[in-house]
Structure 1
Amino acid sequence: MRRKQVLEYRENAEAEGPYRYWMTCLSGAGLGNRSKRQLLDCYKSPSAVYRASKEELDKLGFLRQREVDALIFQRGSWDLREEYERFLEADMGLVTLDMEGYPANLRMLHDAPFGLFFRGRISSGVSSGSSRLAAVVGSRTPSAYGKRVAEDLSAILTDYHYQIVSGMARGIDGIAQTSCLDTGGQTIAVLGCGADIVYPKENWILYDRIVETGCLFSKYPPQTAPLSRHFPARNRIISGLASVVLVIEARRRSGSLITADFALEQGKDVYTLPGRITDPMSAGCNELLHQGAAQPITDYDQLIDDLELIAGMGHFQPREDLRRLPPLTREQEKLYQCLDFYPMDLDQLVKRSELDYLQAVRVLTELCDLGIAVDSSHNQFLKLR
């Protein structure tokens, strides 16, 4: 986020009360969202909450003893000025439930997050609760087929003016968000660590691109490490921000299914990519379909039609039909029809296509160059569309 934008947002926050004290309200160890709201209702300002004595907090009646102890301990162990300076250095903003700009879709949730730290710019679509916010989540170790569907689906949704919401994780999350940015769209990432921390580290380029054109959210204060216990809450925010959740490849026990479960609890529609019953990467997706908890993604046009009905709007025309194959020669078409979405070895393709070995190698190289096939490993080829 540009420095001017940060300062403007802070000026608005200062009008509500001393900005640095919001950090104490948000970061209080063991404090639930309800307790935070009740404290603010009672004391009217975060600075008053910060200055409240233990005796006053004990008399309130709605705080548990461990919550009172946590507040008192944090106040004694924190250097508030130092924490605030760290916050400023992180070039970060903060938005709470009672501030303009808080994501409208999250505001509707039971036990909505009391506040969010963020980097980048909160778009008008997020703050107003747009119905064109699609969460795309999935495996951290997807197949080549899953990668391609995530790329194409995210690009198509972006062309239809959807913003992509995800967790910036390796695998499907990062692929979908990168595809959105490459298509000229905006994406929102929700982190399970402080918004000033790049996690995973290899996604630092994606992190910088999101800060520049979209927004990074976290319910955790600066310098919070990416601990495993943080990610279920992060997944709940992902589904809460979105109007629809799309699951692309997920094991039977995975964070993506947690996101889908939260979406169902929130009354959101869930779509998922069917897979082979022998593929563990699709076990979670197939289970969602078996339970009737999700609709299958079997055709991009049909998915867009469904989403447009959910959004309650007319069609936007996309800039490009990403599903259309490029013009192919007779040899290319013949070999392409022999490929599957799962790896096939070169000898098998030579036999099926009835091309000689050198012809098959040449044509496979051409199909890979066209971006519709890939050598997944050691002469194991599969098609991507």
Structure 2
Amino acid sequence: MEVKFFTPTREYTEKKDEFNRAIHSVLNSGNFIMGREVTDFEDAIKKYTGAKYAVSVASGTDALVISSDILGFKNGKEVITSPFTFLASTSCIAKGGAKPVFVDIDEDTFNIDANKIEEKISPNTVGILPIHLFSQMSDMDKVTDLASKNNLVVLEDAAEAFGMKWKGKNNDVYRHSGTIGDMGIFSFFPTKTLGGYGDGGMIVTNDAKLAEMAKMFRVHGASKKYHYDYLGYNSRLDTIQAAVLSVKLKYVDEAIEKREKVSTWYKERLDNCDYIKIPSVKGEQRPVYYVFNILAQSRDKLAAYLKQNNIGTSIYYPIPLHLQKCFNYLKYKEGDFPVAEKVSKEILALPIYPEITENEVDFVCSTIKRFYKK
């Protein structure tokens, strides 16, 4: 049996006619840039997340860069974030000349350890950039409390967190990821819970001024055609991608439920395996299993064994950002963030997507157990 780490073809096959109609509608209209489907999709995102404003852009990375620019992450200012994440979560800070200041992670959740943020706040700190990773959100109660106490802005990296919601201790209702801080971003990269057929991203906010700036920044900083208020970017969500994503958004709750079921299959089957650890969800929140990670003894040998048995896996992330060559100038060294470094050597992502079958999950789990019995 072959179990791919991810495949988009099963979903396309299931809903082929609907996807084809959406794409052909755009092709027939000839309006490929900022077409009606883009505005419709932005409105749908606002309705789904509860955000007052949603501004689509070309990628999740662009959403981070533009938001960082707008929020003043530049000119030597410090922004506190996690070293255990994808590059874009930190390069967006460095691109504008701001300084990333790392905080170690919680080994049970892989998110930033919010208890360690306050000690890194300095007079030069301007913001906090929490990343909601894999299946759950960072502790937004502590993040927002610290931000309010120290007059800091918060940019939520919710690239992997579409559908996740946080209630915490101080709220009566669950709030969607990305809508709690000053600005939040989503990625619609194909593997995401809500993923397109190419790159795509979204900026959400409840602040009218920030939303207006984001709309200008995505079109070179123009308030109207050929009138430039800012030095902006060229970053627009393709109309075809908006059409595809609008189809997928109709079924995203169903997809989230299926991911939850798959995660339960894994937990049940791997519960008695002493050589692996399954992360726990912390805080009053609603997780979404975008990725299903385990911490595994002999991780690299296990990954190789699974590959030999035609099972796809991935490692998020093999090298924490503070040890990456591009951040040598920050002068961090091995041992500075021991939890992130330890997790990077043990973490392994298993296949999870709505269309994966129970038989395939059985095969993955039995192969893992067989490896440890050798």
- TM over 0.5, yes or no? no
More helix by share: 1
Q: Compute the TM-score of the two structures, normalised by the length of structure 1.
A: 0.31
Greater relative contact order (CA < 8 Å, ≥ 6 in sequence): 2
Tell which structure's C-alpha radius of gyration is larger: 1
